[in-house]
Amino acid sequence: MFRSPMDMTDVTVKGTVLKKPYLNYLDKFYEFPVRDGDVWICGIPKSGTTWAQEMVWMIMNNLDTEGAKADIHSRVPFVEKTWLTPVNEELPEYVRDSMGFIKKEYEKGPVCLKTHLPWVLLPRDIQENLKKPKIIYVLRDPKDAMLSLYHFIKILTGFKETMEEFCEGYMQNKQCYLPYWSHVLGFWNQRNKPNVLILRYEEMIKDLSGIVRKVSHFLERPISDDEVEKLVGHLSFNSMKKNRAVNNEDLIEKARKAQGLEKTETNHMRQGKTGGHKTEMTPELIQKLDKWIEDNTRDTDFVV
Ligand code: A3P
């Protein structure tokens, strides 16, 4: 069994399940100096956040395909990346000290960053509306997000839970960043603010060029028809799957090696489809998840 060198006990902060090491950072993060003009990409894990990171970075950087060869996390830092990484001076700064890295990047101009944290754990400047960075929240059908996370953990650690066990655990908030509903509704309730944009994975799959236009409009970065076409090609599943700057190939290989698992062809870009749950989950499990969705959305105006 994979053992992290850190204490990975679950803790609950403001109703959200996190890992114990996060407690060392949350206060500092709450005071994080947010700026207007920066772009925050948020979403529950496996909603398509890496896809959105690449899209946003490309739009913000005039489709700089050369620059895009650098690791996505050095271009769009993942705030919590550091928080579960043992300090190792040899690691690049964006892995070792993400918040320090972001602050240094500030000197160069607008910064894009990503977090999986819920609305209630974002910095004070955002929650109290003191600063208005552009916030993009990516949503995905929870059954597909669950399925994707199940496979991702399996690929990383070779764990042996069945799909049923995993989904039961997910509904009981046994993964980091859950509950799913307070996460999603926390951002959904902010959706009418002009600096907040909700993206749906399913729409990205259906009409990527429409979403690219929508995002460039939201970011106030006009884009030509030729550029839309070029970017849609760059963001296609097949292109992203091959792209080492975004596909987490190295991280997956390292994690598997550490546990004596063989190399795998699968990477972060696993399937890239909607509705995968329909073929991989039993009708009984789907029924259970649908009831969970219904119970949690009944008194809201949210639609999956
Ligand atoms: P699957 O595991 O269902 O394939 P995140 O980046 O938030 O962790 O989300 C990962 C999910 O987004 C994975 O879903 C991944 O394949 C999908 N994804 C990433 N890039 C994509 C793309 N270009 N087209 C379609 N899906 C993509």
Model pTM? 0.96
Domain count, the chain: 1
Protein residue whose Cα sits closest to atom 16 of ligand 1: 269
Tell me whether residue 293 is in a domain.
no
Could you give the residue numbers annotated as active site?
Answer: 116
Among 148, 206, 241, 280, the mutation site with the greatest number of ligand 1 atoms within 8 A of its Cβ is 148
What pLDDT shows up at residue 1? Answer: 43
pLDDT score, position 4: 58
> CATH number, domain at 188?
3.40.50.300
Q: CA-CA distance, 149 to 165, in Å (whole number)?
A: 13
N residues, the chain:
304
Q: What is the pLDDT of residue 158?
A: 84
* Residue nearest ligand 1's atom 25 by CA: 272
**Distance of alpha carbon 179 from alpha carbon 189, whole angstroms:** 16
pLDDT in tens, the chain (304 residues): 444 568 889 999 999 999 999 999 999 999 999 999 999 999 999 999 999 999 999 999 999 999 999 999 999 999 998 898 877 888 899 989 999 999 999 999 999 999 999 999 999 999 999 999 999 999 999 999 999 999 999 998 889 999 999 999 999 999 999 999 999 999 999 999 999 999 999 999 999 999 999 999 999 999 999 999 999 999 999 999 999 999 989 888 888 888 888 888 888 999 999 999 999 999 999 999 999 999 999 999 999 9
From atom 3 of ligand 1, which residue's Cα is the shortest distance away? 148
The residue whose C-alpha atom lies closest to atom 27 belonging to ligand 1 is 272
Rounded distance from Cα 11 to ligand 1 centre (Å):
27
The answer as to whether 281 is a domain residue is no
CA of 55 to the centre of ligand 1 (A): 13
> Would residue 277 count as lying in a domain?
no
- Residue 215, in any domain of the structure: yes
| Structure-token pair, residue 204 | 């990205």
Residue type, 14: K
Buried b or exposed e, range 47-59, using 16+ CB within 10 angstroms: bbbbbbbbbbbbb
Residue 285 is assigned to a structural domain of this protein: no
Look at residue 70 in the predicted model and tell me its pLDDT. Answer: 97
Query: In a 10 Å sphere around its CB, with 0-12 CB exposed, 13-18 middle and 19+ buried, how is residue 69 labelled?
Result: exposed
Q: Is 169 within the bounds of a domain?
A: no
| 89 lies in some domain | yes
Beta bridge partners of 134: 39
- The helix, strand and coil proportions of the chain, stated in percent and rounded to the nearest 5, come to 50, 10, 40
The response to whether residue 169 sits with its C-beta less than 6 Å from ligand 1 reads: no
Tell whether 170 is covered by a domain. Answer: no
What is the residue range of 94's domain? Answer: 10-142+176-270
